[in-house]
C-alpha cells in the first residue's frame, strides 16, 4: 500500500510545498527506482517531472552503480527550462555512495543558503533517526514531516 502510493503521495506533497516556496532543493538519499519497469512508482522521476518546475536543485544519491545509471539516464532525459513559463535553470547532482556517510558532508558543505527550502527524503536504513535529525537540526531550521 505505502510502496504503491509513496511516489504519488510525495509528489503531491511537494506540489503544495513548491506552490508556497516558489523554489526549493530536493535531496533523495535512496533515489534509484524501486521498480525500473514502472516509472510511475519512481519518486525522484515524479518529483523531477512534476509541474510547476520550480524546484531548482536536485541531489540524487544511490549506493548501487546500476541504480546510479538509471539516475544518470533520468538526468539526461530532462528537457531544458521553458522560459515562457518562467521555469528556472536547474542543477541535478547524481552521486554514487552510501548516503548515510555522504549526508553529513552534503549538509556541512552547505550548498544551499539558510533561506533555501530543502526537502530531504531519507529511508533511515541502518541509521539511527535521532543522530541524523539532530545533525540536520543543528545546521538548519527543520520542520519534521
Interface with ligand SAM by CB under 6 A: which residues? 7, 29-34, 41-43, 61-64, 67, 98-100, 125
Q: Tell the smallest beta-carbon distance from residue 99 to ligand SAM (Å).
A: 4
Nearer to ligand SAM, 82 or 97 (CB): 97
Q: Tell the smallest beta-carbon distance from residue 124 to ligand SAM (Å).
A: 10
Nearer to ligand SAM, 25 or 67 (CB): 67
Nearer to ligand SAM, 49 or 87 (CB): 49
Q: Tell the smallest beta-carbon distance from residue 136 to ligand SAM (Å).
A: 16
Q: Specify whether the backbone of 44 is left (phi greater than 0), alpha (psi in -120 to 50) or beta.
A: alpha
- What's the grid cell of residue 43? 519518486
Burial (0-12, 13-18, 19+ Cβ within 10 Å), 74: buried
Q: Tell the smallest beta-carbon distance from residue 32 to ligand SAM (Å).
A: 3
| Gap between the Cα atoms of 17 and 10, Å rounded | 10
Name residue 91's beta-bridge partners.
57
Nearer to ligand SAM, 25 or 100 (CB): 100
| Gap between the Cα atoms of 68 and 64, Å rounded | 6
Query: Nearest 5°: phi and psi at 128?
Result: -70, 130
Amino acid at each position: 500500500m505505502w510502496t504503491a502510493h509513496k511516489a504519488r503521495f510525495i509528489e503531491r506533497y511537494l506540489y503544495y510545498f513548491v506552490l508556497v516556496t516558489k523554489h526549493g532543493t530536493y535531496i533523495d538519499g535512496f533515489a534509484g527506482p524501486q521498480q525500473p519497469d514502472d516509472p510511475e512508482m519512481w519518486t525522484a522521476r515524479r518529483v523531477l517531472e512534476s509541474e510547476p518546475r520550480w524546484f531548482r536543485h536536485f541531489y540524487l544519491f544511490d549506493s548501487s552503480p546500476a541504480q546510479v545509471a538509471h539516475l544518470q539516464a533520468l538526468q539526461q532525459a530532462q528537457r531544458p527550462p521553458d522560459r515562457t513559463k518562467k521555469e528556472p535553470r536547474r542543477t541535478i547532482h547524481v552521486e554514487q555512495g552510501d548516503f548515510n556517510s555522504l549526508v553529513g558532508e552534503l549538509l556541512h558543505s552547505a550548498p544551499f543558503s539558510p533561506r533555501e527550502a530543502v526537502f530531504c527524503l531519507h529511508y533511515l536504513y541502518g541509521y539511527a533517526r535521532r543522530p541524523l535529525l539532530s545533525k540536520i537540526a543543528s545546521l538548519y531550521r527543520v520542520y519534521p514531516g
